[in-house]
Amino acid sequence: MKCLRCGSEVLSETGNSEIIMKCPKCGWAAVTTYMSEIEEDITHYSIVVERGNSAEKEVIRLISGLSGMNFLETRNLLTNGGTMIVDCATVIKKIATDLDMVGVRYHIEPEFPY
Ligand SMILES: [Zn+2]
Protein backbone atom coordinates (compact mmCIF):
# COMPACT_ATOMS: atom_id res chain seq x y z
CA MET A 1 0.00 0.00 0.00
CA LYS A 2 1.06 3.60 -0.60
CA CYS A 3 1.44 6.46 1.85
CA LEU A 4 -1.61 8.71 1.86
CA ARG A 5 0.55 11.80 2.31
CA CYS A 6 3.50 11.37 -0.03
CA GLY A 7 2.73 8.28 -2.09
CA SER A 8 5.78 6.26 -1.05
CA GLU A 9 5.50 2.58 -0.31
CA VAL A 10 4.69 2.15 3.40
CA LEU A 11 6.00 -0.52 5.72
CA SER A 12 3.46 -2.53 7.64
CA GLU A 13 3.87 -4.39 10.89
CA THR A 14 1.35 -6.82 12.27
CA GLY A 15 0.67 -6.76 15.98
CA ASN A 16 -1.68 -8.93 18.02
CA SER A 17 -4.86 -7.31 16.82
CA GLU A 18 -3.69 -4.40 14.74
CA ILE A 19 -1.73 -3.55 11.64
CA ILE A 20 0.66 -0.64 11.98
CA MET A 21 1.60 1.18 8.77
CA LYS A 22 4.51 3.59 8.67
CA CYS A 23 5.91 5.64 5.86
CA PRO A 24 9.72 5.57 5.90
CA LYS A 25 9.91 8.79 3.89
CA CYS A 26 7.59 11.31 5.58
CA GLY A 27 6.79 9.63 8.87
CA TRP A 28 3.05 9.19 8.24
CA ALA A 29 1.66 6.38 10.36
CA ALA A 30 -1.66 4.66 10.81
CA VAL A 31 -2.94 1.87 12.98
CA THR A 32 -5.73 -0.38 11.79
CA THR A 33 -7.27 -2.80 14.18
CA TYR A 34 -8.63 -5.96 12.69
CA MET A 35 -10.67 -8.83 13.96
CA SER A 36 -9.35 -12.24 13.21
CA GLU A 37 -11.72 -14.98 12.11
CA ILE A 38 -11.71 -16.62 15.53
CA GLU A 39 -12.66 -13.33 17.24
CA GLU A 40 -15.59 -12.84 14.90
CA ASP A 41 -16.91 -16.32 15.59
CA ILE A 42 -19.97 -15.92 17.80
CA THR A 43 -20.58 -19.66 18.19
CA HIS A 44 -20.42 -20.96 21.74
CA TYR A 45 -18.37 -24.13 21.94
CA SER A 46 -18.36 -26.73 24.69
CA ILE A 47 -15.30 -28.56 25.92
CA VAL A 48 -16.42 -32.06 26.82
CA VAL A 49 -13.94 -34.03 28.89
CA GLU A 50 -13.77 -37.75 28.09
CA ARG A 51 -14.34 -40.17 30.93
CA GLY A 52 -11.39 -42.00 32.49
CA ASN A 53 -8.86 -39.18 32.63
CA SER A 54 -6.25 -39.30 35.35
CA ALA A 55 -7.31 -37.12 38.26
CA GLU A 56 -3.91 -35.97 39.50
CA LYS A 57 -3.84 -33.08 41.91
CA GLU A 58 -2.02 -30.73 39.52
CA VAL A 59 -4.50 -31.46 36.74
CA ILE A 60 -7.45 -30.95 39.05
CA ARG A 61 -6.01 -27.66 40.27
CA LEU A 62 -5.50 -26.40 36.72
CA ILE A 63 -8.94 -27.39 35.48
CA SER A 64 -10.63 -26.14 38.58
CA GLY A 65 -8.93 -22.76 37.99
CA LEU A 66 -10.03 -22.67 34.35
CA SER A 67 -13.62 -23.80 34.84
CA GLY A 68 -14.46 -22.37 38.25
CA MET A 69 -15.52 -25.82 39.50
CA ASN A 70 -14.47 -26.94 42.95
CA PHE A 71 -11.99 -29.75 43.63
CA LEU A 72 -14.58 -32.53 43.93
CA GLU A 73 -16.58 -31.46 40.89
CA THR A 74 -13.37 -31.34 38.87
CA ARG A 75 -12.24 -34.77 40.03
CA ASN A 76 -15.66 -36.14 39.16
CA LEU A 77 -15.47 -34.52 35.72
CA LEU A 78 -12.07 -36.06 34.96
CA THR A 79 -13.18 -39.51 36.09
CA ASN A 80 -16.71 -39.63 34.66
CA GLY A 81 -16.47 -37.16 31.80
CA GLY A 82 -18.82 -34.30 31.04
CA THR A 83 -19.01 -30.72 29.89
CA MET A 84 -16.25 -28.63 31.42
CA ILE A 85 -17.02 -25.19 30.03
CA VAL A 86 -19.08 -23.44 27.38
CA ASP A 87 -17.59 -20.28 25.94
CA CYS A 88 -16.65 -18.41 22.79
CA ALA A 89 -13.94 -19.61 20.41
CA THR A 90 -11.00 -17.54 21.72
CA VAL A 91 -11.53 -18.74 25.31
CA ILE A 92 -12.05 -22.35 24.18
CA LYS A 93 -8.85 -22.24 22.17
CA LYS A 94 -6.83 -21.06 25.16
CA ILE A 95 -8.31 -23.67 27.48
CA ALA A 96 -7.87 -26.43 24.90
CA THR A 97 -4.17 -25.53 24.69
CA ASP A 98 -3.85 -25.85 28.47
CA LEU A 99 -5.66 -29.20 28.43
CA ASP A 100 -3.31 -30.47 25.72
CA MET A 101 -0.34 -29.50 27.89
CA VAL A 102 -1.48 -31.64 30.79
CA GLY A 103 -2.70 -34.45 28.55
CA VAL A 104 -6.40 -34.33 29.38
CA ARG A 105 -8.54 -36.08 26.77
CA TYR A 106 -11.53 -34.07 25.59
CA HIS A 107 -13.46 -33.10 22.50
CA ILE A 108 -15.12 -29.86 21.46
CA GLU A 109 -18.73 -29.52 20.33
CA PRO A 110 -19.66 -28.48 17.73
CA GLU A 111 -16.63 -29.12 15.51
CA PHE A 112 -13.90 -26.59 16.34
CA PRO A 113 -12.13 -25.32 13.21
CA TYR A 114 -9.12 -23.58 14.81
ZN1 LIG B 1 4.85 9.31 3.22
Domain boundaries, the chain: 1-34, 39-109
Ligand 1 midpoint to CA 13 (Å): 16
Residues 6+ apart with CB under 8 A from 29: 20, 21, 22, 23
Task: Catalogue the E-assigned strands of 1-114.
Answer: 11-14, 18-22, 29-33, 44-49, 82-88, 106-109
What's the CA-to-centroid distance between 18 and ligand 1, angstroms?
A: 20
79 CA from centroid of ligand 1 (Å): 62
Q: What is the mean pLDDT of each run of 10 residues along the chain (114 residues)?
A: 91 84 93 80 95 94 94 97 96 95 96 92
104 within 8 A of 58, measured Cβ to Cβ = no
Q: How far away, in angstroms, is 7 Cα from ligand 1 center? A: 6
Given this model, what pLDDT does residue 92 score?
96
May I ask the CATH class of domain 39-109?
alpha beta
Q: What does the alpha-carbon distance between residue 58 and residue 61 come to, in Å, rounded to a whole number?
A: 5
